Amino acid sequence: MPLRVQILMYDGVEEQDFIGPRDVLGHAERAGGPVRTALVRLSAPGKVRCFFGTEVMVPAVWEPADADVLIVPGGGDQLIHDPEVLQNLVRAQEAGVTVAGVCTGVMVLSAAGLTRGRPCTTHHLAKAELAAQGGTVVDARVVDDGNLVTAGGVTSGIDLALWMISRECGASLASSVESVMEYEQRGVVWRST
């Protein structure tokens, strides 16, 4: 079975927050790795307008329990105020999906209650707010607490995706992707186990 990864897309999503992980996962798939990645949208296939105005066509609808990993990129805060999204994030994790957040996407996970009392990280400008909402903030680029994986600011999404490839598919595939991208994982991956 391939590792099924969904990246949640929405109006206002920060371009690098989703494209960094998408690039890593795409290179892993192209290298023959057991990875399948889908950009997913909340209601129906369609276009999203990103933070800097880039328009992206999203071909699939988010099915909360239909993945192994869900990545929530940061950007806009509209998801924080959407009770259906928050309930579906909880539902996904309860169904066995590893929920991952990049940058302020972690604040969406926090609004859903998924970071409360758990080790996590986010963009440095949002760490105080994450702690105030009950997250146990760790100063690391990527924090792995099993079914909750979080990453710091914008470019750390690349490191999160490389870590997920290493964790789920092996270090050899992650190393191969690093080589193709001419990128080396940065910072520390803090693990709870």
Nearest Cα neighbor of 171 from 156, 155, 189 is: 189
Question: Which residue among 50, 103, 120, 169 is the active-site one?
Answer: 103
Q: How far apart are CA 190 and CA 187, in angstroms?
A: 9
- Please identify which residue in the block is written with the tokens 């990645």: 37
Judge whether 103 counts as a catalytic residue: yes
Nearest Cα neighbor of 18 from 161, 170, 152 is: 161
> What are 74's two structure tokens?
């940061």
Rounded to 10 deg, the angle between the 156-169 and 171-181 helix axes is 150
Looking at the annotation, which residues are catalytic? 103
